[in-house]
């Protein structure tokens, strides 16, 4: 989702005993949680330890240590499957008007079904999010490989790869025969001409096939949710296509690294590691095709 470019931190943060009890590195990570570019009104957003490390100058291990300490103290909640964090008191501090609460609710709904879903509902009833989490997401048809799949991680070893044929995703309508013949972006768009979670997976497969990169052959709920979060931040299919092309062409991601690992995967593209590629794609004037 588009951000205004700044976050406000009230000076009373320094009166919080839980913050004051932290070592300097912990205080720095806490300020990062409140001011990084993914942070929003709700305090629920995609967390990247790698980005936190780069921004703060701390090692990834140090960042992870402080995050674990915050979680044990009840200051944050995390969902490792979604790669999401909830800064627990953020909404209570930032939301005053009805418009702000409406905006916060929209942000929270991008992470429906998160591990901390019921806690948010209990602490902030004003959000009026549904009880018991979201409605179940239908499993894909058998031709897509079922609803199972790997869990966690973003490296190529965690990706279901179909090297023989493209995934044939289906959402609210058949993406492969949606009546958009002759329109290059048509196969990826759903109702309302919007890019859908399964559409972005199909777009990845279309680009990846051109470079021999791994393609996804299953689309379980875990992937669907991450794709939904990513689309909440950027919905333009041309930006995604440009980013996918750049990832697949990058020598390091393509496997020319000291571990001979291919990191150019759909799961990588949906992780917090995508930020630099998305920024480059937004600023590129180069015409891209799916």
Q: Are 19 and 25 in contact (CB under 8 A)?
A: no
State residue 249's pLDDT score.
92
Report pLDDT digits (tens) over 9-60.
777 888 889 999 999 999 999 999 999 988 998 999 988 888 999 999 999 9
Q: Please, what are the domains in the chain?
A: 11-127 (1.10.10.10), 142-282 (no CATH)
State residue 189's pLDDT score.
66
Work out the average pLDDT over 257-272: 85
Q: State the CB neighbour count (10 A cutoff) for residue 148.
A: 10
The SS3 of residue 87 is strand
Residue 139 pLDDT > 60 = no
Q: State the CB neighbour count (10 A cutoff) for residue 235.
A: 14
Lowest mean pLDDT among 53-57, 169-173, 242-246, 251-255: 169-173
What are the C-alpha distances in Å from 75 to residues 30, 35, 85, 118, 279?
Answer: 9, 15, 10, 16, 30
Q: Which residues have a Cβ under 8 Å from the Cβ of 59 and sit 6 or more positions away? A: 53
State residue 114's pLDDT score.
83
Name the phi and psi angles at 192, rounded to 5.
75, 15
**pLDDT averaged over the chain?**
76
Task: Using the structure block, give the residue that is written with the tokens 């901390």.
Answer: 116
The SS3 of residue 54 is helix
Label residue 183 by pLDDT band (50, 70, 90).
Answer: low
State residue 285's pLDDT score.
72
Q: What percent of the chain has pLDDT over 70?
A: 75
Q: Could you write out the DSSP letters of every residue in 168-234? A: --BSSSBSTTSS-TT-TTGGGB-GGG-B-HHHHHHHHHHHHHHHT---B----HHHHHHHHHHHHH-
Lowest mean pLDDT among 7-11, 61-65, 147-151: 147-151
State residue 23's pLDDT score.
95
Work out the average pLDDT over 109-127: 87
Q: Tell me the two tokens of residue 178.
A: 């949606």
CA angle 45, 46, 51 (to 5 degrees): 120
The SS3 of residue 22 is coil
Q: Tell me the two tokens of residue 75.
A: 């200051």
Work out the average pLDDT over 247-259: 88
State residue 205's pLDDT score.
86
Which spans in the chain are helix H? 17-20, 24-35, 49-56, 60-72, 90-94, 98-109, 117-123, 197-211, 221-233, 237-249, 266-269, 275-282
Residue 277 pLDDT > 90 = no
Work out the average pLDDT over 117-122: 90
Please indicate whether residue 10 or residue 100 has the higher confidence score (pLDDT).
100
Q: Supply the pTM of this predicted model.
A: 0.51
Between the CA atoms of 36, 106, 152 and 239, what dihedral angle is there, to the nearest 10 degrees? -70
Residue 67 pLDDT > 60 = yes
State residue 168's pLDDT score.
36
Q: State the CB neighbour count (10 A cutoff) for residue 5.
A: 6
Q: How far is Cα 168 from Cα 170, in angstroms, rounded to an integer? A: 7
């Amino acid at each position: 989702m588009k951000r205004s470019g700044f976050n406000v931190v009230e000076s009373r943060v320094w009166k919080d005993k839980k913050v004051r009890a932290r070592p300097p590195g912990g205080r720095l990570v806490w300020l990062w949680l409140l001011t990084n570019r993914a942070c929003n009104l709700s305090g629920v957003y995609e967390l990247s330890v790698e980005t936190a490390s780069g921004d703060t100058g701390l090692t990834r291990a140090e960042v992870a240590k402080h995050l674990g300490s915050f979680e044990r103290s009840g200051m944050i909640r995390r969902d490792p499957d979604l790669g999401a964090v909830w800064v627990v008191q953020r909404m209570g501090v930032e939301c005053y008007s009805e418009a702000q609460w409406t905006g916060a609710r929209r942000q929270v709904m991008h992470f429906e079904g998160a591990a901390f879903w019921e806690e948010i509902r209990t602490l902030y009833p004003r959000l009026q999010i549904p009880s018991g989490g979201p409605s179940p997401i239908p499993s894909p048809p058998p031709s897509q490989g079922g609803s199972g799949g790997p869990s966690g991680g973003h490296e190529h070893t965690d990706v279901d790869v179909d090297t023989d044929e493209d995934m044939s995703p289906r959402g609210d309508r058949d993406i492969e025969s949606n009546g958009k013949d002759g329109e290059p972006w048509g196969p990826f768009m759903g109702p309302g001409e919007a890019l859908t979670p399964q559409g972005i997976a199909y777009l990845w497969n279309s680009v990846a096939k051109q470079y021999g990169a791994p393609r996804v052959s299953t689309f379980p709920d875990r992937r669907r949710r991450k794709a939904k979060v990513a689309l909440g931040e950027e919905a333009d299919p041309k930006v995604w296509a440009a980013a996918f092309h750049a990832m697949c062409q990058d020598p390091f991601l393509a496997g020319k690294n000291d571990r001979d690992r291919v990191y150019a995967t759909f799961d990588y593209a949906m992780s917090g590691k995508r930020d630099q590629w998305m920024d480059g794609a937004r600023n590129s004037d180069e015409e891209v095709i799916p």
